[in-house]
Structure 1
Amino acid sequence: MRVEELLAAARAELDRLSPAEAAEVQARGGLLVDIRYAALRERDGTIPGALIVERNELEWRLDPACEHRAPEATGHDLPVVVVCDEGYASSLAAVSLRRLGLRRATDLIGGFRAWRAAGLPVAR
């Protein structure tokens, strides 16, 4: 299988969200999770209120049953929107969270770049 096929299969499992839809999920108490690496966050800013979790720690920090989970990982029913820079790695990460039982995990179409382009809040 090629990475393009893996990505397409992952996205077929997700109800991906536009920036406006992701902002609405956050406003209703859902969790936005920024998995971009530090250099991108420093360069471009962050989404106010988003949980910052490097990709290599994502499953440990979001699994509600893990002793290393973030306090924000309150349960398997929590709406989680994974955000990467352009919306590729986030699709694969969201499917990984679904495999852990976070059935409402999805990702942001276009990633942080789309969020910023939509004029949504960015913290520097």
Structure 2
Amino acid sequence: MRVEELLAAAREELDRLGPAEAAAVQADGGLLVDIRYAALRERDGTIPGALVVERNELEWRLDPLCDHRSDRATGHDLRVVVVCDEGYASSLAAVSLRSLGLHRATDLAGGFQAWRAAGLPVAHRTAP
């Protein structure tokens, strides 16, 4: 299987959200999870209130049954929207979370770049 086929299969499992829908999920108590690596967050900023978890730690931080989970990983029914830079890796990551029982996990179509292009809030780190 090629990566394009893997991605297409993953997206068949997801009800992907646009930026406004993801913002509504967050406003309603859902969790946006930013899996972008540090250089992209430093360059472009972050989504206020999003949980930052780099991709290699995602499953450990979001599994409600794991000793290493984030305190924001409150249960398998949590609405989770995974955000990467452009909406590719996030699809694969969301399916991985679904495999852990987070049945409401999905991703942001177009990723952080779509969020920013939609004019939604972005936080930039200020110099100390």
Calculate the TM-score normalised by the size of structure 1. 1.00
Q: Give the whole-Å Cα distance in 2 for the aligned partners of 1:123 and 1:59.
A: 25
Looking at structure 1, the residues matched to 72 and 4 of structure 2 have their Cα atoms a distance apart, in angstroms, of 32
Which residue in 1 is equivalent to 2:45? 45
Corresponding residue number in structure 1 for 2:94: 94
Q: How does 1:50-65 map to 2 (within 5 A)?
A: 50-65=50-65
Give ranges in structure 1 of 5+ residues lacking alignment. none
Rounded Cα–Cα distance in structure 2 between residues aligned with 1:64 and 1:15: 22
Aligned-residue offset at 1:104: 0.2
TM-score for the superposition, normalised by structure 2: 0.97
Residues 17-32 of structure 1: pairs in structure 2 closer than 5 A: 17-32=17-32
Identical aligned residues as a percent: 87
Q: Which runs of 5+ in 2 are unaligned?
A: none
Q: Counterpart of 2:109 in 1: which secondary structure?
A: coil
Please state if 1:34 is matched with 2:34: yes
Query: What do the CA deviations read for 1:26-78 (whole angstroms, capped 9, x no partner)?
Result: 00000000000000000000000000000000000000000000000000000
CA distance in 1, matches of 2:119, 2:45: 13
Matched to 2:72, the amino acid is E
CA RMSD of aligned residues (A): 0.1
